[in-house]
């Protein structure tokens, strides 16, 4: 697992299998001929039972204080999967109180780091034993292809917790030489009660990105799941307690942003806040935190990532990689390569092959073997994407493929490709978060650098070229937290991830994520015998 990457599992293995496996047929609708998998058949019944729908507070599953519940829906059909306890401010208060007691008086922060490591390793083992159920829950609640969840995301979840388990007993302090007769120690201590808010596009991976480093450093947590996808985090938290996590260390609240999320962000007894989501919501979260107790905040926000195809590129490989960079996870990725800049000399060839690749994309029930694209997360996101597609047509971009609903049930959208896209169009400026590829033409390297950087976002970028000088120029010039060269979406556990500009601040994953969850304390003691220095 040490060298396993999401990109190697998805971008190399998945497209080939998705195009060749399963019973497929052609379906004429809109522009072009689409490949679809079982589009007219009834959805598969997931082989998993929903076991946990309550809030997790102080090691126990409990109802919301109000007794309210909300429905979590199957995006394949819009049908109800389960009724989930709806947490609000009172439940946040209960969870923060449990986390505070667990931090101040409980064993977790004072536990030998090696013991914390062993609990996290046992948790990783339990994930492996329960991969089938967790992957099924993730697909059922989110709509992502089951093969993607089971073969890529769940193994990465295991890898992430083993990675952070390895850090638990390697967080060291320093001895600093002083100018005078003093012994100076620098201690790295857990920051305290951590509020964490995760999104719906990668529920379990975002759970790991937040919970892993916080626990490794000895903190306690109140985590709010996205209201669209609460089920897998509740299941995983149960496994974490089976692994030996003490009560109150991890508390899970399912609920809505304006109630539970706002209460967590503004809570006076939360010492640290971490949020992943849209830039607009990130601004609100930051304001709420600043108005309460000035708690430090890390933000991983939106993106509008450029994917630059240079004139020397292998066009077939560039087309496949650009397709993956945009359409992976139904386009619901903050770092999606959603502005595809292509050199004018290869633009026409790239466009025709990109259109053909989109027409071959297999859309259907994500539980079907061979499906590349499932539904969008919910009706709200579906309608948002459709509005952007309409905007692209009305602003003068050329709709090459897609642009319509796929099927008659659920939140499916045809893989959509636009050409002749201009920088000022909304589809080239805004984060669409859907299966909409915008292909733009460029002529000079300096030009594309300026255009690629002309955005409020700075999360990621992709560069496709055979020329090392071109690659070096672009990677230094692009203002983004991650630049992938001849690859995309490589999310190794040790690689830091985060953005420039309005894509947020702070870094997730790797050693840099530990800094988010540690306080630095200097301890200065006089030396009575300075001659021995």
Q: What percent of the chain has pLDDT over 90?
A: 90
Give the pLDDT confidence score for residue 530 in this predicted structure: 65
Give the pLDDT confidence score for residue 529 in this predicted structure: 77
Domains, the chain, ordered by start: 55-301 (3.40.605.10), 306-501 (3.40.309.10)
153 noted as active-site residue: no
CA–CA distance, 338 with 303 (Å, rounded to integer): 9
**Segment 155-194, tens digit of pLDDT:** 999 999 999 999 999 999 999 999 989 999 999 999 999 9
The gap between the terminal CA atoms of the chain, to the nearest Å, is: 46
Give the pLDDT confidence score for residue 290 in this predicted structure: 93
pLDDT at 323 > cutoff 60: yes
For 129-135, the CB contacts below 8 A with 24+ separation are 130/235, 130/239, 131/155, 132/47, 132/48, 133/48, 133/49, 133/235, 134/204, 134/232, 134/235, 134/236
**Segment 388-441, tens digit of pLDDT:** 999 999 999 999 999 999 999 999 999 999 999 999 999 999 999 999 999 999
Query: pTM here?
Result: 0.92
The distance from CA 41 to its chain's CA centroid, rounded to whole angstroms, is 31
Catalytically annotated residue among 147, 153, 300, 508: 300
CA–CA distance, 489 with 415 (Å, rounded to integer): 19
Per-residue buried b or exposed e for 114-139, using 16+ beta carbons within 10 Å of the residue's own CB: eebbbbbbbbbebbeebbebbbbbbb
Antiparallel, parallel or unpaired: β 297-300 and 306-309? unpaired
Give the pLDDT confidence score for residue 528 in this predicted structure: 86
Half-sphere exposure of 433 (CA within 13 A, CB side): 21
């Amino acid at each position: 697992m040490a060298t396993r990457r999401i990109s190697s599992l998805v971008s190399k293995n998945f497209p080939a299998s998705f195009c060749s496996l399963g019973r497929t047929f052609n379906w004429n609708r809109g522009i072009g001929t689409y490949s679809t998998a079982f589009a007219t058949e009834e959805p598969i019944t997931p082989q998993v039972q929903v076991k946990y729908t309550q809030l997790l507070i102080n090691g126990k599953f409990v109802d919301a204080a109000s007794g309210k519940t909300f429905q979590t829906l199957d995006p394949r059909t819009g049908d109800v999967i389960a009724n989930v306890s709806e947490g609000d401010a009172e439940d946040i208060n209960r969870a923060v109180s449990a986390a505070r007691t667990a931090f101040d008086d409980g064993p977790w922060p004072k536990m030998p780091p090696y013991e914390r490591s062993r609990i996290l390793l046992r948790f990783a083992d339990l994930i492996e034993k329960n991969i089938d159920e967790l992957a099924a829950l993730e697909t059922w609640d989110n709509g992502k292809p089951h093969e993607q969840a089971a073969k890529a995301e769940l193994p990465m979840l295991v890898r992430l917790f083993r990675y952070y388990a390895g850090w638990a007993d390697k967080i060291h302090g320093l001895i600093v030489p002083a100018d005078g007769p003093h012994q100076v120690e620098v201690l790295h201590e857990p920051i305290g009660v951590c509020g964490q808010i995760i999104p719906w596009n990668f529920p379990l991976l975002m759970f790991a990105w937040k919970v892993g480093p916080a626990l490794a450093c000895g903190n306690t947590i109140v985590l709010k799941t996205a209201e669209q996808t609460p089920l897998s985090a509740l299941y995983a938290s149960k496994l974490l307690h089976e692994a030996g996590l003490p009560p109150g260390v991890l508390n899970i609240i399912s609920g809505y942003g304006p109630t539970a999320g706002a209460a967590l962000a503004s809570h006076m007894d939360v010492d640290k806040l971490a949020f992943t989501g849209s830039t607009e919501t990130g601004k609100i979260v930051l304001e709420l935190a600043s108005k309460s107790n000035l708690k430090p905040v890390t933000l991983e926000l939106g993106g509008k990532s450029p994917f630059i195809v240079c004139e020397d590129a292998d066009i077939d490989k560039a087309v496949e990689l650009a397709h993956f960079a945009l359409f992976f996870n139904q386009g619901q990725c903050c770092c999606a390569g959603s502005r595809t800049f292509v050199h004018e000399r290869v633009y026409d060839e790239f466009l025709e092959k990109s259109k053909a690749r989109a027409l071959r994309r297999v859309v259907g029930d994500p539980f079907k073997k061979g499906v590349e694209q499932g539904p969008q997360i919910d009706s709200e996101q579906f309608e948002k994407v459709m509005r952007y597609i309409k905007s692209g047509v009305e602003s003068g971009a050329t709709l090459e493929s897609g642009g319509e609903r796929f099927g008659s049930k659920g939140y499916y959208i045809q893989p959509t490709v636009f050409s002749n896209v201009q920088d000022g169009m909304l589809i080239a400026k805004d984060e669409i978060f859907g299966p909409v590829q915008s292909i733009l033409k460029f002529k000079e390297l300096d030009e594309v650098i300026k255009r690629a950087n002309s955005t409020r976002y700075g999360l990621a970028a992709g560069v496709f070229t055979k020329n090392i000088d071109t690659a070096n120029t672009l990677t230094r010039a692009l203002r983004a937290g991650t630049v992938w060269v001849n690859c995309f979406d490589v999310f190794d556990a040790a690689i830091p991830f985060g953005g420039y500009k309005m894509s947020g601040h702070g870094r997730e994953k790797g050693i840099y994520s530990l800094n988010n969850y540690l306080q630095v304390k200097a301890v200065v003691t006089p030396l009575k015998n300075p001659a021995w220095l």
